[in-house]
Amino acid sequence: MAEEVEAVLVTAKQAHRHWGPRQILPFLARRRPDRALPAPSPAGELFHREGFSQTRTRRRGHRHPGAISLQAEAPKAVWTADFKGQFRTGDRLYGSPLTVADAYSRFLFTCSARLSTQQVEARPSFERLFHEDGLREAIRTDYGAPFVTSAFCGLSQLSAW
C-alpha cells in the first residue's frame, strides 16, 4: 500500500476512532474517489500496526463445579441428538429432521424427518435406537424443544424418560 494512502487512512481513523475499516473505506471512497483504496483486511492490519486496535483476549469457558465432562472416550458412549431446523417438503408441509450421532466417531445413527419437534414425534426414534443399540452413558442435546423445558432443572418428559 502506498505511503500516501496509509497516511489518508490513519488520518481518517484518528478522526473516527470507533470506525473500523469497513466504515472508513466507503467514507474515503466518497470523499476521495481519485485514490485507489485497499481492501478492508489490509486496512485493518494497518490500524492494528498503528496501535488503533488490540487483539482481544479470549474468555475461558466456565463450567459448573459439579458438572461431569461429557468427553466421548469410546465409540457409542456419548450420543448427540438435535433437530436440524425446519424445511418445507414437496407437499408444502413443514418437516424437522432429528439427527442422532455418535460423539466419538461422528457416525450418524439416524436422520429421520418429523412433522414437529414435540416429544411424541421424537420418542419413537429414540425407542428404536435404544432397542437396536442399547442405552448410552449420556446423550448430549441442545437447549431446544423437546429436550429442555422451563420445568425443574430443565427436564422435559423426553429427557426424564
- pLDDT, one tens digit per residue, over 67-118 is 666 677 888 888 888 888 888 888 888 888 889 999 888 899 888 888 887 8
pLDDT tens readout for residues 118-145: 888 888 888 998 899 888 888 888 877 8
Yes or no: say if 28 and 11 are a contact pair by the CB < 8 Å rule.
no
CA distance 56 to 105: 33
Q: Please tell me what DSSP assigns to residue 96.
A: E
| pTM of the model as a whole | 0.54
- The 10s digit of each residue's pLDDT in 25-81 is 999 999 988 889 999 999 999 999 999 987 778 877 766 666 666 677 888 888 888
- Domain range summary for the chain, segments of one domain joined by +: 3-49, 78-160
Nearest to 28 by CA among 63, 19, 73, 41: 19
Q: What's phi and psi for 101, nearest 5 deg?
A: -130, 160
pLDDT score, position 66: 63
Phi/psi of residue 133, each to 5°? -120, -5
